[in-house]
Structures are given as structure tokens and as C-alpha cells.
Structure 1
Amino acid sequence: MKAISWHVPASTTLTVAKHSQLMARAWPGRSRRCPPVGEADKLTMGYGFRWRFVFKGEGLPIEPPAHYDPKQFELYRRAFQQGVDILSGRVMRGKVDGWEKSGGRVYSGGAGNLARALFAPTNYGHNANYADGDYATRARIWKEQQDFVRGMTHFLRTDPSVPAKQKEIALSAGLEKGAFDDTKGYPHQLYVREARRMVSDTVVTQKDMEGRTNPADSVGLASYGVDEWPYATVALDGKVALMGGYYSMLYLEEEHRGIYKIPYRAIVPKKAQCANLLVPVCVSASHIAMTSIRMEPVWMILGESAGVAATMAVKSGSAVQDVPYAELYPKLRALAQKVDIPKRKETKAK
């Protein structure tokens, strides 16, 4: 690691390929090969906790982990040695058309969202084995996420390379009282943004988000942009960079305005695999599509549609794949489900 790079240069097009080029984490001894463009990997968006940090000594203590290793924070040390001010909220990259830029603060305020930055309260890439892991593997990853913040805080408090201002903030940092007192301030739930996804006969992709498809079996609408988080910290051209972590709204044809349909075929598995299962959350979708679909309102919409379809399948004794959409559609409309792209209302000239 010879220098610090704050982003991976890439075009603004939203393709899956550019997010799958690198696998390595930049910590010493963890470099991996760069697979060919488009090759699958196990990386998913970074996980984390919704930390609630407070300062001025008002919170519950953040103690160092039992197996603290300062080498894990070598990137921080080298950044400090090169004069990088990680308190400045230095921009990793800008968002389009006036959207707020993402900074690099190590302690996020409020509900403690992760930062799309090299210096953030998470170890990007450490969650690669979570989705297919057993309980022990998942527990280890959960603990690693906690220990990373504990170790980071201890490093910022004690390492000689840390500037005085950053050290002062770290020394005063604590976990908010009143939210998770029974676990000493540590949040109860790990934020798993993405894990396993179903692969069915139909896969929702970026083309659907861009309005280039018009599925005839829509069971719900979505309209959120691409909201993904970094997958790993990687070595790139002798520097250090983040892989992934893009946020963008989709600017589409006037007719769609970012709204797209989710087909019934994407919430049912292949018939040969299972005939009595509906999946409204881990839907059949590409990674890019899932960065948009993964919003609670969309899951609630799909959940209601799935419930109606399940009732129909049970009453008729049929496979979920054989539920006739011609009969499902009016039932959804009767429940006020929005399954068609709404037409833009014309405004009267003044």
C-alpha cells in the first residue's frame, strides 16, 4: 500500500460487471487474485450495526477487544503519516445532481449509518461467508464487526500516529445510553443488507429498473435508485480503494420516471425445485436490482401479493407457478395494490 486512493474510477453506467472485478481486501496477507470481469464471487454489500455514538464522555465505554491487533489498522496509520485528515468528511465520491456527498468520518452521527469511505466503522469484505455460513460462522462475523469498532477506537486512542484532534474525539467516544443498555450499548441486530437471492425462471435486472421491460404479470412496483455499499477494501494499482458503494437515482423515460414492475415470476421458484413457496423478500433479482428492491415498502407490497397468490394456490390445490394471473390481477386491484405504471397527470397551462 503505497498511497491512499479514495475511490475506484469507473464510468457512471450502472452495470454488474464493474462491481465484480476485485476480490482482495487490502490488509496484509489477504490479497487475492482479480477475477475476470463478470465472474461471480461471494462478496455482498457491507454489513454493519446502526451504531449510536455519543461523545464528551457521556456514553457507555467502548473497551478494546480481547485480541486487539494494531496491524489491522495499518491503513489508518499510513493515512495519518501522509497527512490525511479523516475528520474532514473528505468526499469519497459525489452523488449526481445535487445529492448529498458521502464523507469519510469514522464515527457517524445519529443512527450510525456506515460511511461509504475507506475510514468507516466497518471492515468491508469480512462478511463474504455470512450468507452460506453456519451459525458459528455467522456468530464469528457478527463478533468481528463489533471488535472492529472496538479495535479502531482503541487504535485511535493509543497509536502514536494519530493526530491529537482525532485522538481527543476517540477518547471521548462512547455508546449511547438508553438504547441498548442490556448489551452495553451494542445494537441488537446486525444490518444484513444483502445475502442469498433466489434464482428463478425470471430474474429482475437493471433492464427492468431502466424501464426496458414490461412484464405482463406485475405484482408490485418499485422506484428506488441504486443504493449499494462497498463490498471490500482492495489493492488497486499500488493504492488502496473501495470496491462498489455506488448511490444513484435512475433517470428514465418520462413515462416511467424511475418506477418499474416486479413480475410474479420473480417471487416464485422454478417449478421443478418447489411448488408451494413464495419469496417476496429474497426475490429472484440481480445484485444491482436488489440494491433497489431491498426497501421495506417494496417487500410489504410483494408480501401482500404473495399472500393473495398463496391463498389462491391453497384453495385450488395448485402449484404457486400455476396461479392464473388473469385471476390474481383483479384481486390485487381490489386491494388497491399498485401493479401498473401510473400515467403522469397533465398540468393545465396557467
Structure 2
Amino acid sequence: MDSIGEQVSISSQLPVTYEPDVVVLGGGASGVAAAVAAARNGASTLLIEQRGYLGGMGTAALVPAFCPYTDGEKPVIRGVGLTLLERMKEAAGEEFYQRNKDKLNWVPIDVETLKWVYDEAVMDSGASLLFHTVADQVLVNGERIEGLVISNKSGRQLVKAKLYIDASGDADLAALAGVPFLTGGEQGELQPATMCFLVTGANRQRFDQYLKETEQSGQLEKAVVEAQRNGDLPEGRKKVSGIAWISDTVAGFNFGHIFGVDGTKAEDLTRAAIEGRRLIQRQLHFLRKYVPGFEQVHLVHSGDQIGIRETRRIVGDYQLVVEDFLSMRTFEDDIARNSYFIDIHLANANSTMTVKHLPKGRSHGVPYRCMLPKGITNLIVAGRAVSSDRPVQGSLRVMPNCFAMGEAAGVAASMAAKAGAGFREVSVPQLQRTLIEQGAWLGEKPGTADTVAALNERIRFDDET
């Protein structure tokens, strides 16, 4: 965050090229949903993305499947996120659709189709897109962001908006604005990264037969252990997980870990990319040698970047904690429900994973306040960087939840823009009603707090008394 004098100098030197009501930084699941929701609710909206396509981890990192949309009985993620899932299924071709039309959990991602679906959704909403662009500076005046400096092939420019949505996944905009944040565990440990990949030349019928024959004995896991013992795979995770079949011959893999990667550091991302591609070669050797149905596979695509599970978590008006998850708590200002299990991957090759499921058919609330960063009034954060403790981040971080949080952020931004207000002055009941009217599911009856400021004041009073 720069001094006022430096900011005045920057403002006078750089051209102001965009002045929308709402700027969304980051075009992953949360950013797409936020831009669509803000624009279709009447706010002029600009979505800024560093790559030449949308989708974040689902496209750039080749995460092979969407995590569950349901609590085991019904969809808890609806609205924009569910619509986009169904559009991808329909657009991916008749064979793909017939195979997945009734699925809402672990639906394979057809990457190229998903890129196109996201493009169309954002453009149809009326939002504007700016690809190949990064934000490298934030101009702050007191508790308000006054402008965002962006860099691209056109040079450095200044964007001025009324409201800002940080959907970067890493809280990049919030960090630039001086918002306090937490990172990783008590020792700074972070969940490992994964270089996902896509292969062709597989034989699904042969693989399914292999699974059928060895299901009781866990032969696939035994194959991993044997390969590790023989030096064909590195030590670490004992399972081949995250196999998603795009067709009978094409499969995506979320398999293996790269440890000690901080996704906010270019040096770490560089090392992880190199190590990740090197690891894929060993994984391909393993598949061809140990797993029936994959003897003739050919690598067609590795992630444009390593898949990142965890970086910054903002300090917000409320921190969602593991007790809220376990007690399946409902909040007055709920803007989403979450039923995905706590899923914290091992921090090193010798540690273990943490997994905790909620009962079937149950979920907990995600309060609006956990998206509001301390110290800034016209900024909201959506996605895995919201205010939570580390265990809850291991649950909230997945794409379906990011859709839901992004949609809420976009609707809130449109409301604040119309009112000429900040995010804390948004009427929570009106926000909840709008979300429900537009297809979101908030579970139990929403609360009655007039605004977030009123809710925070009541909580403060209750604590004092």
C-alpha cells in the first residue's frame, strides 16, 4: 500500500481506462460467478484475468472433476454454479452428457468446453472481460480502495470502480490493499500442490474390469505401494485418486504431491512446475507398467500451472472455525451452505491427511461477514481466501463453494453500487432474498439482521453483556 503522495502521483501519470461499478479480480469459479451475478443485477462490471481464458484451477491447473454439489441427498450448491455445471454437461457432446446427465458429484471437467461455457456466461451477463492482465498496485484512501493499477501488453493503466471483488484465490487484491491475513498452519505449513494432467489412449473397459476384479483386495492402492517400494514412484500418498474419465479413452488425473510450495511466490511456482512435469513422467511410467487399461496412454496436456490448494486467508469480520463446521451452525447472515468434507492434504511425504465428513443430508452456513476484510469498506473476498481457520479452509476451498460465495459477492456488489454504499451497509435480508430468487439455496430460514454493521453491533453488545 502506497503513501497518499505516491498515489496522487500515480493517478496523475496513468490513464484511467476503465470506470465500472464493480471490478472482479480473478476469473476462476468465484470470479466467474461474481461477475455474472453483479452484471445481471444491473452493475457495470469488469472481470480481470491473468490468463487468456477463464476457469482458474479447473482449466489452468486441469483439476479433473468438480467436487460434490450435494450433501448426499440434495444439491446445496445451486444458482449460477449449478447452471454452469449443467451447461458444460450439455455442451460437451451427447456421449459426455448421457454419461453424466444425472451426476452432481465428481462430474469430470471437459476443459475446452468449460472455457467456452464460462466465456459465454460472462459475456451474456453483460460484464466486460480483460484477459492477459494482472493487478500490481492498489490505491487506498483511508478505508476505501480508490483505484487499481493493472499491467498488460497495453502498458500500465488505472482502473477506478465503486466496489472491488477479490476472486484471485490468493487474496492478492486484499494483500495489496494492506488487509491482514493468515497463511497455512501454526508452523506455516501449506497443503501440497499437484500438477494435474490429461492422457489419451486409455482403455476404460479394461480398467473397469481390473477394478471389479480387485475391488475387495484394494489392488490399485497396493500397486502404488509396490511402485513406491520399487522406486517407480516417490514416497507420499498411497492412492491413485482423482481419475476422471472424459471419454472411454481420455482421462484426467489428480495424482501426487509437490511439497513446500507457496502459491504466492513466483520462485515456488516455478520450481513446482518443473518438479510437477518431472513427476508426471514417473506417474505415466507407473500407469503403463502397473495399471491395466493404461498400457498405451499418451500425455496430451499438463497443467498450465501447478494446482494450488492453500495460500492466504484474510482476517475478516467473522472467522469461520472448525466448531462451526462440526456443529453445522446456521448464521443470521448466511449466503451459502457447505457440506464438503474437511480435506487437508499431507504437508510432507511422512505426514497424514485430515478428513472429516458431515452426516449425510447436513451442511453448515457460510456467513456474509467472513468475506468482508478488516480495514476496507468497498472490498469483498470470495473463494478459498475468505476468513476461516485452516481446517474449514480445507472444506470451503473447492469450486462449487467458490461459485456460491462468488455469486453472493456479485449480488452484494450490485446492491452496494446502486445504493452508493460499502459492503457492510448491504441489507442482509435483501441479499438473501435476491440469492434465493435467483436459484441459490440457503437451507434454513435466513436471518433478520438489517445490515452487517447492525449484526456486528448486536454481536459486540451481546459479548459485552
The CA deviation at 1:290 is 1.6
RMSD: 3.6
Q: How many angstroms apart in 1 are the aligned matches of 2:296 and 2:198?
A: 8
Please list the CA deviations of residues 52-80 of structure 1 after superposition, one character each: whole Å capped at 9, or x if unmatched.
45799xxxxxxxxxxxxxxxxxxxxxxxx
Residue 401 of structure 2 corresponds to residue 298 of structure 1: yes
Q: Call closer, same or farther: CA 1:122–1:334 in 2, change over 3 Å.
A: closer
| CA distance in structure 2 between the partners assigned to 1:195 and 1:39 by the alignment | 10
| Aligned residue number for residue 264 of structure 2 | 132
Q: Relative to structure 1, is the Cα distance of residues 259 and 317 closer, same or farther in structure 2, using a 3 angstrom cutoff?
A: same
Relative to its length, the structure with more helix (as a share) is: 2
Aligned residue number for residue 442 of structure 2: 339
Q: Aligned partners of 1:245, 1:50: CA distance in 2, in Å?
A: 19
- AA aligned opposite 2:260: H
What is the match of residue 46 of structure 1? 192
SS of structure 1 residue aligned to 2:410: helix
> What is the CA–CA distance in structure 1 between the aligned matches of 2:243 and 2:437, rounded to whole Å?
44
**Please, what TM-score do these two structures have when normalized by structure 1?**
0.55
1:247 positional shift: 2.9
Alignment correspondent of 2:369: 265
CA drift at 1:329: 2.3
Aligned-partner SS, 2:196: coil
Q: Indicate how the Cα distance of structure 1 residues 167 and 278 shifts in structure 2: closer, same or farther if over 3 A, else same.
A: closer
Q: In 2, distance between residues paired with 1:49 and 1:335? A: 36
Contact 1:53 1:173 in 2 (8 A): no
Question: Once the 2 structures are TM-superposed, how far is the Cα of residue 245 of structure 1 from its aligned partner?
Answer: 1.5
8 Å Cα contact 1:222/1:293 also seen in 2: yes
1:305/1:332 contact within 8 Å kept: yes
Q: Which runs of 5+ in 2 are unaligned?
A: 1-183, 203-219, 227-236, 245-250, 446-465
- 2:327 is paired with a residue whose SS is coil
* Equivalence map 1:139-178=2 (5 Å): 139-150=270-281, 152=282, 176-177=298-299
Among all aligned residue pairs of Structure 1 and Structure 2, give the percentage whose two residues are the same amino acid.
19
Indicate the larger mover: 304-313 or 102-111.
102-111
The question of whether the paired residues in 1 share the 8 Å contact of 2:342 and 2:354 is answered with yes
Instruction: Judge conservation of contact 1:220–1:262 (CA < 8 Å) in 2.
Output: yes
Deviation at 1:202, TM superposition (A): 0.6
SS at 1:111 equivalent: strand
- Structure number with the higher strand fraction is 2
The alignment of Structure 1 onto Structure 2 pairs a total of residues equal to: 226
The one-letter code of the counterpart of 1:131 is G
Is 1:113 the counterpart of 2:254? The answer is yes
Q: CA deviation at 1:168?
A: 5.4
**Any residues of structure 2 matched to 1:206-221 within 5 Å, and which?**
206-211=322-327, 213-221=329-337
Structure 1 alignment gaps of length 5 or more: 1-37, 57-84, 92-101, 115-120, 158-165, 181-185, 234-240, 343-350
- Specify whether residues 139 and 174 from structure 1 end up closer, same or farther in structure 2 by C-alpha distance, changes over 3 A only: farther
CA distance 1:39–1:105, shift in 2 (3 Å) = closer
TM-superposition CA deviations, 1:135-191 (whole Å, max 9, x none): 3442222222223444x579x89xxxxxxxx99559x978625x32xxxxx332421
Q: Matches of 1:168 and 1:297 in 2, distance apart?
A: 35
| Structure-2 change in CA distance of 1:187 and 1:325 (3 Å) | closer
Cα shift readout 1:319-342 (whole Å, capped 9, x = no counterpart): 112212133222222223212338
Q: Summarize the Cα distance change of 1:50–1:173 in structure 2 as closer, same or farther, 3 Å threshold.
A: farther
Amino acid at match of 2:429: A
Q: Deviations over 1:285-320 (max 9, x none)?
A: 122112211222221111111111101111112111
TM-score by length of 2: 0.42
Q: Distance between the aligned counterparts of 2:288 and 2:428, measured in 1? A: 61
Over 3 Å counting, the alpha-carbon distance change for 1:341 and 1:55 in structure 2 is same
Q: Residues 40 and 175 (structure 1 numbering): CA distance in 2 closer, same or farther, change over 3 Å?
A: farther
With over 3 angstroms needed to count, the CA separation of the structure-2 counterparts of 1:335 and 1:106, relative to structure 1, is: closer
Cα distance in structure 2, aligned partners of 1:289 and 1:216? 19
